[in-house]
């Protein structure tokens, strides 16, 4: 907990008990929660927290580079506290999002006419599929 407090205090983020609860929830979280998920979870301990507090905290963390905003789900934004370069795959049935830690930079090449106009500084690949749990539900485990 002290690591969380010192990490964000040094970045100039005002640390209220509600914000600390949000930061604790995100620390090491691999579920790629949406703002609504975080709000529901933190509200259990802090019933007076507002959705605006959660959303504003997420925006601040995203702007400071401590949180990735993932738009792989067209219905809502998800957040990933793992800011190291990686990709994502989403189940098209249950919307579960998982990390993919493979470097595709050698495989992905842009056409020369694009490279004349832009200097790539990174990439992000989104994959879509059906997770094992949903395959089992359908009776088609692979």
Q: What is the pLDDT, as a whole number, of residue 140?
A: 60
Q: What is the pLDDT, as a whole number, of residue 141?
A: 55
Entry pTM: 0.83
Per-domain residue ranges for the chain? 2-77, 84-138
Nearest to 31 by CA among 86, 93, 78: 78
Fold entry, domain 2-77: Arc Repressor Mutant, subunit A (1.10.10)
Q: Are 55 and 18 in contact (CB under 8 A)?
A: no
Q: The tokens of 54 are what?
A: 């959660």
Q: The tokens of 85 are what?
A: 């370069």
Dihedral pair phi/psi, residue 58, rounded to 5°: -65, -40
- Rounded distance, CA 98 to CA 127, Å? 10
Q: What is the pLDDT, as a whole number, of residue 129?
A: 95
Q: What is the pLDDT, as a whole number, of residue 113?
A: 94
Options 3.40.50.410, 3.40.50.11900, 3.30.1490.190, 3.30.70.1140; which CATH number does 84-138 get? Answer: 3.30.1490.190
Render each residue's pLDDT in the chain as its tens digit; 142 residues.
677 777 778 878 888 999 999 999 999 999 999 999 999 999 999 999 999 999 999 999 999 999 999 988 888 899 999 999 999 999 999 999 999 999 887 777 889 999 999 998 888 889 999 999 999 998 865 5
């Amino acid at each position: 907990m002290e690591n969380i407090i010192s990490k964000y205090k040094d970045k100039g983020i005002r640390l209220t008990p509600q914000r600390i609860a949000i930061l604790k929830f995100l620390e090491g979280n691999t579920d790629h929660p949406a703002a609504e998920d975080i709000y529901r979870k933190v509200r259990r301990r802090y019933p007076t927290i507002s959705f605006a507090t959660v959303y504003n905290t997420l925006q601040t963390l995203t702007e400071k580079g401590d949180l990735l905003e993932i738009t792989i789900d067209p219905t809502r934004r998800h957040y990933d506290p793992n800011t190291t370069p990686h990709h994502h795959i989403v189940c098209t049935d249950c919307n579960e999002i998982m990390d993919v830690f493979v470097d595709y930079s050698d495989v992905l090449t842009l056409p020369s006419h694009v490279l004349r106009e832009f200097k790539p500084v990174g990439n992000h690949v989104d994959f879509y599929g059906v997770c094992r749990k949903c395959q089992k539900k359908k009776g088609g485990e692979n």
